[in-house]
Structure 1
């Protein structure tokens, strides 16, 4: 698909995977992003909506923080809705809340509830992944803003526009058809001033024809990925390519007076250059991950500690590679298309074990790109050998998991499970054996 006006070449798709029995999920929700082009009046209306949603969030958050500090019970959502939305509209101080759809205000309160739930679940150990802190106040200086709407506050028009309550009909660049009627909409303004509409759509998995090939993947920096069949995918290094122009734009930004309009313009130029690199990287990730999923019935990849590597001298190269986003795409596309996907524990010594005989040869520094097994004499390319070991370990993990699942839930039968799409602004908690994959909204 051709790219125009910095529109993502493919829609953003987000998926949560949940398995409770032998079968894969039977219903999923996907998220599609499209570029929107509001006129001046609509931009002012959206700015008002962003601001009102932020005020409701901050007011409700303040009430809960003050109640907690005073030793009072947790303030319920119904009480906050009555005080900070219904009654606030009747006051002189918050009378302008009536200019925005009530759905926007209620969804802001629901997002706060979700943020608190994620925080509590994280404290109690119910939420997997990184620890989540308590909700924080939102600033009007935030460069990325969004509002959420349900079907009561938006509709698709026959002329190709999207009606948003108290905003009007928005022009949209439809880079791809929606597969079904959307169930919710998020309107986002990113840090370089672009507007996007993010639709959540209920759909069925699109199972691909089965193939015999399976792939283990070793991710790296010199080569972005090496597959167990010997294929190497070169790293595109989009951020590195843009560094020269970014350095010039950053110098221009540093010379501008803080708070001036010229500084705001210079900041926008820097943000647009970063967004351009991010869009290209995302498009490349989509194409590479789709090809791997189409070519292989099962895909296995090492669970890298990306956040840790992001604090080393390799940080810029690690962030430029975008491993987490790529692995997330592999994960949700595997679930969507009926493929097997598994992550191999990061502690697994994929670079130390001979993939031919299984002999563990010990750790090796990064500059060693080729080595000879001390037991069988096989000469290995470091990355190819690691990819083969990831393949073998992934097969073992999947086989063990299937045996455990069969023993635990043989009599449970198949249950139709609808899987919600992840929201970028508040996230979705993961329960039990849930694995999450996603592409952050723009």
Structure 2
């Protein structure tokens, strides 16, 4: 039998430049998709309150809020002015939200509990519609960077094709952001990427705030990736724009213009952060065969009012998601260890645990083997050991992975301590 080729889905995003008339048509599509979504949620909530949600399938409710509602004598005849694909996909999103909620409540869905779908507001500054192959066509020109995206009942929209798509897209999501920025996101099926030969077989990654990531490899090397602090660097400009926004009269055109300027500055910060994370994740995946990271309770950590802005600025969640996606695409191994593992309390040389340490202590000496450790590099090595990618050097028949708090036997001779390097 021929070998089956694994296919994975990947998303490509491009900038859209709709005309003034197309912007009005897109706004109408956003509004109709939002109305259908809210009608579906309201009807399912009514059925749930009456105890009839199991007797009435999703298909009947979908027909009620779309096909019946957009008739000439229906409740919302204006829905016929937009593509039916947009309405159907909006209902699909609501259905998936209810499925996730019920699966989470019954235990079939792992992870944190999921709330039922909530109503969408017209005041949300990010609106989006989704279309399948029957609702759009892409006409991109190979000799130019500009193409045309045809959306049903909207027309051909100019699109900036920074690179060609590797395959025919299966769906597209058109999004409008708070600063008036339009983008189209295509989903295509691609084969896994061939990664270069790795320089290291294993590495442990400790995420931090002062430094974005601390990497320790199986060869004993260690380096720190700087945290650019994108939001902090743009704080002065943001403060000026927000003060200008606060002085504008509510409901005025000047306030709308000022609001878009603030949103545009936030988008610049987010794009810079995402670009930096992409580069860091790509370098880590290309250089290492197996990566180990620590599971972080980011939702709980941002409740700390003293560190919330710094944790949000560093963007741990986005970096970990990119690491997972790129490792899966390149065929690398990514291991996530338990969040309660005391990586900062253990000695990576002998496994001795001497308790918690305040954050201002950046270096410490092990009371058992007297090895001098950098706090972050030692934590990265412990993460690699906990993932099974490295072992503690044993001495005189001692345990390879001694129990925390118990030092392994050492030879009766001088011990050469590992030199800590910082790149």
TM-score higher than 0.5 = yes
Structure 2 alignment gaps of length 5 or more: 142-146, 391-423
From 348, 357, 368, the equivalent of 1:364 is 357
Give the aligned partner of residue 163 of structure 1: 150
Please, which moves more after superposition, 248-257 or 134-143?
248-257
Segments of 4+ moved more than 3 angstroms: none
Counterpart for residue 87 of structure 2: 105
Check if 1:373 corresponds to 2:353: no
**More moved, 171-180 vs 388-397:** 388-397
Q: 2:67 aligns with which of 73, 77, 86?
A: 86
Q: Counterparts of 1:377 and 1:69 in 2: how far apart (Å)?
A: 65
Q: Is 2:251 the counterpart of 1:259?
A: yes
Deviations 1:355-404 (A, max 9, x none): 1111112111101000000011100000010011111112269xxxxxxx
Give me the CA root mean square deviation.
1.7
156-165 vs 103-112, which deviates more? 156-165
Q: Report the alpha carbon displacement of residue 25 of structure 1 after superposing the two structures with TM.
A: 8.8
Structure label with greater radius of gyration: 2
Greater Cα offset, 189-198 or 368-377: 189-198
**Secondary structure of 1:161 counterpart:** strand
Aligned partner of 1:202 in structure 2 is 189
Residue 333 in 1 paired to residue 326 in 2?
Answer: yes
Instruction: For residue 93 of structure 1, report the CA deviation from its aligned partner.
Output: 4.4
The verdict on how the C-alpha distance between 1:382 and 1:158 changes in structure 2, with shifts beyond 3 A counting, is closer
Q: How does 1:68-217 map to 2 (within 5 A)?
A: 68-74=48-54, 75-90=56-71, 91=73, 93-159=75-141, 160-211=147-198, 213=200, 214-217=202-205
Give ranges in structure 1 of 5+ residues lacking alignment. 1-22, 398-442
Specify the alignment match of 2:223 in structure 1.
Answer: 231
State TM-score, norm by structure 2.
0.86
| Residues 353, 361 of structure 1: 8 Å contact kept | yes
Q: Is the 8 A contact 1:77 1:109 kept in 2?
A: no
Q: 1:249 aligns with which of 236, 241, 246?
A: 241
State the match for 1:308 in structure 2: 300
Counterpart CA distance in 2 for 1:352 and 1:71 is 53
Q: What SS does structure 2 have at the residue aligned with 1:389? A: helix
Q: State the TM-score, normalized to the length of structure 1.
A: 0.82
